[in-house]
Structure 1
Amino acid sequence: MKDITHAVVIDDEPTVLESLEQLLTLADLDVTTFSDARDALPMLTSDFRGVVVSDIRMPGMDGMSLLQAIDPGIPVILITGHGGIAQAVEAMKLGAYDFIEKPYKQDRLVELIKRACQQRQVTLATQPQHATAREEEWLASVIIGESAPTQTLRQHVQALARVNADVVISGETGTGKELVARSLHALSIRKDQPFVAINVGAIPESLLESELFGHEAGAFTGAQKRRIGYFEAAHEGTLFLDEIESMPMSFQIKLLRVLQEREVVRVGSHAPIPINVRIISATKEDLREAARAGHFREDLYYRLMVADIYLPALRDRIDDVPALFAHFLREAGRNNQLEVPALNYEDVLALELHQWPGNVRELKHTAERYLLTRSFNGISVSDLLQLGQSNRSSAFSGEGSLSDRLEQVEKALISAELSHHNGSIKMVMEVLDLPRRTLNEKMQKYGLKREAFLG
């Protein structure tokens, strides 16, 4: 999808229109101007690929009326004079993207418009679309599971892969943030270009600039030859910055400049090098809260957070555990040339009752350990989890009411039987001695779908 760079500018003063058109054109934006907001309405349809910049106070149709007359998905930036702040705040409540007060800094307005263009691109890309069957099949083999959170995640990845906007992926440790980043890259227009991953938290602060931006020979002691930094290495492709929250505040301003200018300067050089990269960042913390607390630059947060993806913890998609565990078992079997055992009822039940504090990473390691240890001593999944478990299942940990904990066990039992019998409703009815209507009601209550358990 081509980047959005179109701005519709509306102001009843000809000199202001001329000035804004010149400013935005020099900033590589496509500009269409109107002196009357009513004349712009035919262009501002739901599929309009651009943003609107409008004065608030105008004859005929003012900025407030325009805001309410067009599709709410179109970002509208309102310009207000002195004394118009209260009205601008009201406009924000009605859905305006942002407002800027006269006199304003030109570079701030340009930056605001470009950020709004990126937001519009994300909005259009995430509207319901039909992904190709091949795309869906591939993604289902990578992001495994049929729970509602997992299906939503796959849809989100498919939508954001189509745009060129920077993305922040958040979630607990071990939820698969790099896997999602690689999926975004693999489905994007950059798929044939480099995907470069770097753990920001693993690089000493003194080496960050050299590692990310590169250095020239002789730039510092030990720099015997020129080194290409990660940004240059990812040119035309995707740069994945893991644990972005650990980046020192002193370096964040340097990263912000690179993201704004899309160029790097190697250590020991003064020559800027243009770079074209998509930035995907990952964090286990809430960057918004970190910015509010002063631990992360607010301007960098807004620059990175054009679009975001949240990865649910494994305990919040427990229905996916049997399928994921079986996948990791097959993978470990191939890597170790070992036969993969079938899971029995007790195995599946133990997997679903475990809390998985280490998320998917813990599940994968457990599958590998199970395959290897079972080959030698026939240990069960339940025994293995009890041996390595430092945090008991929430169903037996004393957390929640008796009713809540019993429901967790009931859901796990039904899910385990469905998995064991490959989704056979008849077999589950017989084993659990439940009437069909009761079983259907409980499956609906717990969000269990037969299709997810078909062998």
Structure 2
Amino acid sequence: MSEPRVLLIDDEEELRLSTAQALELSGFSVTMLSSAEHALELIGYSFDGVVVSDIRMPGMDGMTLLQKVRELDAEIPVILVTGHGDVQLAVNAMRNGAYDFMEKPFTAQYLSGVIRRAMDKRSLVLENRRLRAVAGKRDDLETRLPGRTQVMVDLRYRIRAIGAADADTLIIGATGAGKEVVARALHDVSSRANRPFVAINCAALPQNLIESELFGHEAGAFPGAIRARYGKFEHARGGTILLDEIGSMPIEIQARFLRVLQERVITRLGSNETVELDVRFIATSKVDLEAEVAAGRFRPDLLYRLNVATVHVPSLAQRRADIPLLFLQLVREAAARYGREDQDVPQSIIAEIATREWPGNVRELRNAADRLVLGLSSETPDPVHLENDRQSFRLAEKVASYERDLIAKSITTHAGNLKAVYETLGISRKTLYEKMQKYGLDKRHLGSFAHVDDDTI
């Protein structure tokens, strides 16, 4: 494991330098950053440090950074700092998952003590993860890419195999299927896990600055280039570069990028000196690049260089049996992210979610989970109407409703393994079959086909 470190983020240079110096004198390894955006490139599931960030900054503020970090790994300690005595801000920060909150001015001794406790907590989290992996228990990939269907089992197996090989990789998948999640997983299971992960959206690069953004430039290379600047390729040295939607990269830039892939060197704009580049490239595409090659919009030699290894991310339509459990996990994550209590999702909603089409894939399903947690979903039961309905139920109706929900929840929990369901409920196979028929329960919409046994219906 690499030396534990502190990522210190503050847009005020003088304060940033003085705080870093004090922390280094206390024995910490400090990486200073002037903006929150760059911090996300240095953080991953295996990050073994602590984040200390100012809250009020231009661009991405500290509260947004906290949310982004928790999306990567909810157990990374984030300490937020502000110069404004805002009690409500402190409450919101702690509610949203901040490890601690402090107000300027603070003593270096106090900050060092908070960081040491946060470091101890992070070290314990990472050690527990390693012990679980050694014991053969469910690994991190099953948490980040859940699913019991065969396509997901195969995907996780392929990520482990390709990740360790450090080969350039092409990830193919529909919009919202989770291509960037797969890319980050490949980075985190590789030997580059503690190095930068730099994501580049090829569709969003400004056309007039694309070469400068990727390759960097020397001072005076073009009007407005007052000082030399690293490009994103150089910034990621030692780590992984994600080229998101590489099919959108202009054809004229593809030629220069091909040389980077082949020779692993770059030349900044305005310079004749080459810079060696030790990186791994991962590219994603939602379109068929073979078709783009045939249409003359993508270089065939670039495609052949990129797809040393190829990973296909399945859409939700290809893994429908995973939808109920995936939705429940997304609801739990949303509740934690928004500081809400865990919700008991009614089986009627789960059944409806399982049968619906999801053209936006996991991204769309996550949005539905967020709306449910925030009370913005049209499917959320209205408390007043729900209470009126309950009062109007006769005893038999209440018992039947409870029994249906209990059976449906058990089918979901046991992933469609009906033998486990009737043994857990203490009823016979025949009784379970009859009750499923009575209540219109279908294991295909509530469970998973990943488990095969003799008790299939």
Change (3 A) 1:193 1:310: same
Deviation at 1:417, TM superposition (A): 6.3
Could you tell me which residue of structure 2 aligns to residue 98 of structure 1?
Answer: none
**Aligned residue among 421, 434, 449 for 1:425:** 421
Change (3 A) 1:247 1:377: closer
Change (3 A) 1:435 1:248: closer
Deviation at 1:222, TM superposition (A): 1.6
**Aligned residue among 149, 152, 175 for 2:151:** 149
Q: Percent identity, please.
A: 40
Could you tell me which residue of structure 1 aligns to residue 269 of structure 2?
Answer: 267
Q: For the residues of structure 1 that align with 2:377 and 2:341, how far apart are their CA atoms?
A: 9
Deviation at 1:261, TM superposition (A): 1.4
Could you tell me which residue of structure 2 aligns to residue 256 of structure 1?
Answer: 258
Aligned positions of 1:340-355 closer than 5 A? 340-355=342-357
Contact 1:415/1:448 (<8 A) preserved? no
Contact 1:242/1:282 (<8 A) preserved? yes
Contact 1:373/1:379 (<8 A) preserved? no
Q: For the residues of structure 2 that align with 1:420 and 1:161, how far apart are their CA atoms?
A: 31
Q: Which amino acid aligns with 2:412?
A: S
Change (3 A) 1:294 1:167: same
Q: Which amino acid aligns with 1:290?
A: E
Q: For the residues of structure 1 that align with 2:260 and 2:251, how far apart are their CA atoms?
A: 15
Change (3 A) 1:200 1:415: farther
Q: For the residues of structure 2 that align with 1:135 and 1:238, how far apart are their CA atoms?
A: 28
Change (3 A) 1:225 1:368: same
Change (3 A) 1:360 1:442: closer
Contact 1:319/1:415 (<8 A) preserved? no
3-state SS of 1:325 partner? helix
Listed one character per residue, the Cα deviations across residues 165-211 of structure 1 (whole Å, up to 9, x for unaligned) are 10000000101111000000100011111111110110122211111
Change (3 A) 1:293 1:433: same
3-state SS of 1:215 partner? coil
User: Where has structure 1 moved over 3 Å in runs of 4 or more?
Assistant: 131-136, 374-380, 414-417, 420-424, 427-432
3-state SS of 1:291 partner? helix
Could you tell me which residue of structure 2 aligns to residue 84 of structure 1?
Answer: none
Could you tell me which residue of structure 2 aligns to residue 166 of structure 1?
Answer: 168
Change (3 A) 1:214 1:170: same
Deviation at 1:425, TM superposition (A): 2.6
**Aligned residue among 329, 336, 339 for 1:337:** 339
**Structural RMSD (CA):** 3.1
Q: Which segment drifts farther, 235-244 or 203-212?
A: 203-212
Contact 1:329/1:368 (<8 A) preserved? yes
Q: For the residues of structure 2 that align with 1:188 and 1:332, how far apart are their CA atoms?
A: 28
Q: For the residues of structure 1 that align with 2:354 and 2:347, how far apart are their CA atoms?
A: 11
Could you tell me which residue of structure 1 aligns to residue 193 of structure 2?
Answer: 191
Contact 2:372/2:379 (<8 A) preserved? no
Listed one character per residue, the Cα deviations across residues 147-171 of structure 1 (whole Å, up to 9, x for unaligned) are 1111110001010011021000000
Give TM-score, length-normalised by structure 2. 0.57
Name stretches of at least 5 consecutive residues in structure 1 with no aligned partner. 1-130, 381-413
Change (3 A) 1:333 1:285: same
Q: For the residues of structure 2 that align with 1:377 and 1:174, how far apart are their CA atoms?
A: 22
Deviation at 1:267, TM superposition (A): 0.8
Change (3 A) 1:164 1:378: closer
Could you tell me which residue of structure 2 aligns to residue 302 of structure 1?
Answer: 304
3-state SS of 1:202 partner? coil
Change (3 A) 1:240 1:372: same
Change (3 A) 1:133 1:315: farther
Deviation at 1:272, TM superposition (A): 0.5
User: What is the aligned length?
Assistant: 284
Deviation at 1:416, TM superposition (A): 7.1
3-state SS of 1:208 partner? helix
Deviation at 1:335, TM superposition (A): 1.8
Q: For the residues of structure 1 that align with 2:356 and 2:344, how far apart are their CA atoms?
A: 19
Give TM-score, length-normalised by structure 1. 0.57
**Aligned residue among 356, 359, 362 for 1:357:** 359
Deviation at 1:343, TM superposition (A): 2.1
Listed one character per residue, the Cα deviations across residues 226-261 of structure 1 (whole Å, up to 9, x for unaligned) are 111111111111000001000111111010011111
Contact 1:168/1:308 (<8 A) preserved? yes
Deviation at 1:287, TM superposition (A): 1.1
3-state SS of 1:192 partner? coil
Change (3 A) 1:335 1:446: closer
Could you tell me which residue of structure 2 aligns to residue 85 of structure 1?
Answer: none
Q: Which amino acid aligns with 1:346?
A: S
